[in-house]
Chains A and B, each alone.
Chain A
Amino acid sequence: MISERLRKVILTDLKLEDMELTDSTTAPQVPGWDSLAHVGLIAAIEKEYGIRFKTLEIIRLKNVGDLQAAVDKKTAERR
């Protein structure tokens, strides 16, 4: 399940008004989410949640579900 908060950060950063994102959505399916935009999007997510990903964590993400899981894990660690 993709949280509304994560969905909103992604859509805002990519300047998309509305789009359904599921666990299995991959970046190439989302307009504007290319490899160059990816780095900026990760930075926006980090800012929103006050978290920091490690390089390897970013590289290994396969879909939005992985991204949600990584965000959840980081925010849980911070608590």
Chain B
Amino acid sequence: MSSIEVKDLNFSFKDQTIFKDLSLNTESGTITGIIGPNGVGKSVLFKIIAGLIIPQTGLVKVNGQEINQNGFPDDFGALIEEPGFVDRLSGYDNLKILSSIKNLINKDDIKSTLKLVGLWGKHNQKVKNYSLGMKKKLGIAQAIMEKPKVIILDEPMNALDEDSVQNIRTVLKKLATENNVSILIASHNMDDINLLCDKIYKINNYKVNEIQKSNNE
């Protein structure tokens, strides 16, 4: 069964067509990449998958659940554009607040997630004092902390240093292979896409086309 299924998606905004009959699939235990130039609609597609934006027509399913105006995806984690953390609170407290919404995890889970992304030790610093890279790691942490079955990450490696990039790549690979998680990544970095992804889609002319890994377009 597909983890994410998008079929015949049509979406336009202020008379501008963004997607026309767009379809894609992702499978459990795999990482799927999305590439395309700026402004082509990668973030919009992620917002549609997350249920934040309602498309004009088309079918979106996450873990078999149809995403429409009646429901957000269950068992799902997302990092889309800039995450809105509370700047005056620490990274740890931000995750604690977010985790209190679904109440699925405890303090130890938050601690182990922060260790995983390399933020443990700086978890008590206020987010306003975090660098861009640290905020990105916190964004990844909130997306994976509840151990969802489907994760979508919009430019997850942006602003990360080389060591952190390597670490996050390892974390994501492990999640997919060991925990059978389906991960969808949008990135401009072809190294990330080629090293991480089992399948790559390119957005072009309002649709996505599957491309070969060796294609470095």
Q: Is chain B a partner of chain A in the same complex?
A: no
Residues of A within 8 A of B (CB): none
